[in-house]
Structure 1
């Protein structure tokens, strides 16, 4: 007895999507969540330490300047990665991947580079995450025949990075109102 079974192109795309993209997206979301958990914990530790350490800020003290810069970098990283996490949660199907995620890759790479000396393990995991997301984006674009412009996604990521940097600088300035940031 022979069965004349044919799989339509739509079903084929759905199967490929479910078999290859969904588990990779889930893994990427878990990896991002784990990285954020580590960074949030580190941010809270540094914030507590710096409140005491920077109570008598000396602009000439390189150790204090480094402590403040480390707090800024980690706070910046948490904010950017939280934005990426929100975007990733907005993915509703394969067609939304090439729309929501391309600008995430350069942002993740920027954060990874900034954390390289501070938290090398997080930096390494972010590099892994950027590779995973990049391949997911390319595969989803191939499956959906989507097109995207790398210069546009780079511009989007640069704009968001700048906005978050301003926000973090403002938060840090409010957190340490007695520090003169323009001299440091």
Structure 2
């Protein structure tokens, strides 16, 4: 049996694919906004409960260490997502997507893995987000004939993750001045 097939002109295919990127970008941005809101609430809650640790921290108490670590991970995750959201909002055209988003996918996966024990809901949503972003990046690269340099993408994401880690560690250290935070993080 022979099936008659109509060839779709390349122009139509390109236009239809580029049109489908916008709703996926919007959906991804909405996911980020939802996760940011959840993490802000979690951070405020843990920050409030950790206030007692400012003067009463006992480094031999596992609950105290876990509570500080939880605040640190949530603050780190929130900062990374705010930076990624800022990148999303800077996308002005289809050609910017393969330049801006690939390193963000790696950062989202890192954050998702760190949040798994603390907030499984956010971790799951971040996994979903990384899938959407991956498809957006691949489709936009196909439309623009972009090429990926995974080495550069890895360096960019590692650099930003390290930068945010230093910022968050500094904020936590200032928040708990009686705590030798850097020594605790390295043990």
TM-score where L is the length of structure 1: 0.91
SS in 2 for 1:55: helix
Offset at 1:13? 2.8
Give the Cα–Cα distance (whole angstroms) in 2 for the partners of residues 53 and 80 of structure 1: 25
Which residue of the partner structure matches residue 82 of structure 1?
82
Superposed counterparts of 1:54-133, under 5 Å: 54-133=54-133
Q: 1:182 to 1:97 in 2, by over 3 A?
A: closer
In angstroms, what is the RMSD of aligned CA positions? 1.6
Offset at 1:8? 7.8
User: Is the 2:80–2:161 contact (alpha carbons within 8 Å) kept by the matching residues of 1?
Assistant: yes
Give the Cα–Cα distance (whole angstroms) in 2 for the partners of residues 81 and 53 of structure 1: 27
Which residue of the partner structure matches residue 28 of structure 1?
28
Give the Cα–Cα distance (whole angstroms) in 2 for the partners of residues 180 and 48 of structure 1: 20
Give the Cα–Cα distance (whole angstroms) in 1 for the partners of residues 70 and 101 of structure 2: 27
Which residue of the partner structure matches residue 6 of structure 2?
none
Offset at 1:16? 2.3
**Alignment coverage as a number of residue pairs:** 177
Is 1:147 the counterpart of 2:116 in the alignment?
A: no
Which residue of the partner structure matches residue 3 of structure 2?
none
Runs of 4+ in structure 1 off by over 6 angstroms are none
User: Is the 2:43–2:75 contact (alpha carbons within 8 Å) kept by the matching residues of 1?
Assistant: yes
Offset at 1:109? 0.3
Give the Cα–Cα distance (whole angstroms) in 2 for the partners of residues 32 and 129 of structure 1: 8
SS in 2 for 1:112: helix
TM-score where L is the length of structure 2: 0.90
Offset at 1:48? 0.7
**Structure 1, unaligned stretches of length 5 or more?**
1-6
Q: Deviations over 1:14-62 (max 9, x none)?
A: 44211x1011111000001000000011001111110124431111111
Offset at 1:12? 5.0
User: Is the 2:31–2:129 contact (alpha carbons within 8 Å) kept by the matching residues of 1?
Assistant: yes
